[in-house]
């Protein structure tokens, strides 16, 4: 699997976490007696928490970012800001890829847009400035607007090591296949050519 496909699959898994919480938000906030009470768990908290746990346990770096985030820890870096600008400039753009250095290591950068949908309106929609149930002022965004981005960074060293191992394995397999072909050719020539020539050699000498 190429590095881009690996990043794409991971981005879809992370998006599924976000969507699952969003779809079940009303159920999460509804008590057993039917009353509505915000539990503090919403799509952004769930996704960023899962991303942080995943990043702590692997060499990958997964972030949910924005140029004007509610949490300053989620502010976009240079590459992520370039991706956000690209998404705003082309509404049909579904991914942004790049290579950059972070913390002294080289990374493959994969970014996808987070767009406003019906589930986002209660927190990020109109009216501007109204405090939503999470305690933050609404931004007044509309359906389809770019809210932010999901950013996945994969260390190239790990990918290059895996690629080197795969190339070495393929080289060995190719060598074995080539050797097998040579043995088959040798056996065929020996059986059908050399041995037949050996059988007629006495007659050739007599002539």
Question: Mean of the per-residue pLDDT values for the chain?
Answer: 85
Do residues 170 and 104 make contact, with C-beta atoms less than 8 angstroms apart? no
Give the residue-averaged pLDDT of 161-177: 61
What is the Cα–Cα distance from 101 to 107, expressed in whole angstroms? 6
Note the pLDDT tens digit of each residue in 134-160. Answer: 899 999 999 999 999 999 999 998 665
Q: What is the pTM of this model?
A: 0.74
CA-to-CA separations, 81 to 43, 60, 114, 128, 185, in angstroms, rounded: 22, 19, 13, 23, 60
Note the pLDDT tens digit of each residue in 56-85. Answer: 999 999 999 999 999 999 999 999 999 999
């Amino acid at each position: 699997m190429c590095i881009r496909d690996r990043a794409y699959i991971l981005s879809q898994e992370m998006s599924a976490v976000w969507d699952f919480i969003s779809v079940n938000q009303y159920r999460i906030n509804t008590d057993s007696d039917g009353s509505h009470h915000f539990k503090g768990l919403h799509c952004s908290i769930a996704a960023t928490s899962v991303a942080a746990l995943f990043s702590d346990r692997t060499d990958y770096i997964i972030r949910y970012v924005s140029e004007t985030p509610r949490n300053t820890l989620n502010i976009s870096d240079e590459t992520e800001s370039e991706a956000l600008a690209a998404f705003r400039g082309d509404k049909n753009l579904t991914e942004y890829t790049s290579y950059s250095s972070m913390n002294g290591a080289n990374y493959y950068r994969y970014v996808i847009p987070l767009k406003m949908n019906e589930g986002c309106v209660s927190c990020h929609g109109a009216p501007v400035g109204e405090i939503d149930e999470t305690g933050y002022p609404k931004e007044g965004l509309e359906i389809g607007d770019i809210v932010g981005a999901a950013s996945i960074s994969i260390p190239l060293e790990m990918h290059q090591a895996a690629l080197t191992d795969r190339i070495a394995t393929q080289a060995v397999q190719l060598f074995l296949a080539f050797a097998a072909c040579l043995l088959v050719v040798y056996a065929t020539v020996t059986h059908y050519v050399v041995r037949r020539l050996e059988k007629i050699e006495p007659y050739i000498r007599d002539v």
